[in-house]
Copies of this chain bind each other. A is one copy, B any other.
Amino acid sequence: MIIMKKDAKPKEIQHVIDEVKKYGLRADVSRGQFRTVIGLVGDELKIPFAHLAALPGVKEARMVETPYKLINREYNDLSAEGESYTIKVGNVEIGDGEPVFIAGPCAVETRQQLMETAEQAREAGAHILRGGVFKPRTSVHSFQGLGSAGRDEAEEALGWLREAGRQFNMPVLTEVRGENQVDLVAEYVDILQIGSRNMYDQDLLGAVARKDKPVLFKRHFGASIEEFLCFAEYIAAEGNKDIILCERGIVPVGKGKSFTRYTLDLAAVPVVQRETYLPIIVDPSHATGRRDLISSMSLAAVAAGASGLMIETHHNPEEALVDAQQMVTPAELKDIIDACRRISRETTASR
């Protein structure tokens, strides 16, 4: 990390960048309100920091020990605890204190299903519309989403998503499962999601990051928080700072019944907020896999300080092709959103 002096000239900054490249690393430039900081992408052991520290305009040059440097609070000039970074998508702001609600069906099934769910979710108070077109599945024999049927089917489903978003004034979000889907999906949606199963897939992360749209990045169900942040760094290393982290549960421990599909790790919320500048939301639907637990886990997530929630919603859950047992109705969604807002006010007041 190279911290430039307050009055460093553009020429001096460029000179530092050129020097960094000489040693085989890339430079990531972060221009904060008070200072410019240059992050290094690559192996810092190759850099003679004493040499860089002596260059004109440089205030300080030092190695950063953690494997995620670009998403560090300090590097992003957000050293005080209260400060936060806000990601704007359309008229929605994520990370500004008010919890954001992402709702919609697990899988896009029909135009009518999507339009009805979108309208009712909007009325319930949701801000962003989600819907899966390419579904990652454990079994090749399960329904893989309309997108997997072919290019035309994918475009049709993505088109419905875009249409519903425009009609009900909600940014839209869908998952990208493979590199060859990135271009297509980016044409239609506002936020690109990397699902839990693809968290470790660094080439996909790079391809998605380069689209310069906000990325919703889900933790793998077998990953530590450190690993989660290391792979978020792959997105930041492409120059894309708009990463929304998402905690969605990790594999249960122990013998015998666990009663929930995964174990929701809510401490990840304050941990990530102390380690990085990134907002983090929570997905209680996949974490629990149980409609009857979504309300209490939503309240707990907001009380823990989450910047938002992603809740699978279906206008008629019983008919859903995927995850029927964990989707809530728009009416239930409304109760959850209202309660979360009250909890959020009390939590914020307590800080």
Interface residues of chain A, those whose CB is within 8 Å of chain B, are 40-44, 67-69, 136-143, 177-181, 197-198, 200-204, 207, 220-227, 230-231, 233-234, 237, 250-261, 263-267, 269-271, 274-275, 287-288, 292-293, 295-297, 299-305, 335, 338-339, 342-343, 346-347, 349-350
Contact of A302 (CB < 8 Å), options: B201, B224, B303: B303
B-side contacts of A287, CB under 8 Å: 267
Known A141-B44, A305-B296; contact A265-B267, beta-carbon cutoff 8 A: no
B-side contacts of A204, CB under 8 Å: 178, 201
Known A299-B303, A350-B339; contact A253-B253, beta-carbon cutoff 8 A: yes
A201 → B minimal CB distance (Å): 5
B-side contacts of A223, CB under 8 Å: 222, 253-254
B-side contacts of A138, CB under 8 Å: 67, 227, 230-231, 255-256
Q: A40-B141, A43-B142, A270-B293 are in contact. List 7 more A-B contacts (CB 8 A).
A: A67-B138, A139-B233, A178-B179, A201-B201, A253-B253, A269-B296, A342-B349
Q: Which 5 A-B pairs have the closest CB atoms?
A: A222-B222, A178-B203, A224-B254, A226-B256, A339-B350
Residue of B nearest to A201 (CB): B201
**Are the CB atoms of B140 and A255 closer together than 8 Å?**
no
A152 → B minimal CB distance (Å): 16
State the number of copies, please.
4
**Are the CB atoms of A141 and B41 closer together than 8 Å?**
yes
**Are the CB atoms of B227 and A299 closer together than 8 Å?**
no
- Write 19 A-B pairs (CB below 8 A) sorted by A numbering: A43-B142, A67-B138, A67-B141, A138-B227, A140-B233, A180-B203, A197-B200, A222-B254, A224-B252, A224-B255, A225-B259, A226-B257, A250-B253, A255-B261, A259-B271, A260-B267, A266-B266, A296-B305, A343-B350
Q: Tell me which of A137, A223, A305 has the highest count of chain B C-beta atoms within 10 A of its own C-beta.
A: A223
CA distance A3 to B150 in the complex (A): 30
**Are the CB atoms of A69 and B141 closer together than 8 Å?**
yes
CA distance A136 to B227 in the complex (A): 13
B-side contacts of A224, CB under 8 Å: 252-258
CA distance A346 to B348 in the complex (A): 14
Residue of B nearest to A64 (CB): B141
CA distance A335 to B69 in the complex (A): 34
B-side contacts of A69, CB under 8 Å: 141
B-side contacts of A342, CB under 8 Å: 346, 349-350
Known A221-B255, A350-B335; contact A141-B43, beta-carbon cutoff 8 A: yes
Known A233-B140, A263-B267, A264-B266; contact A347-B299, beta-carbon cutoff 8 A: yes
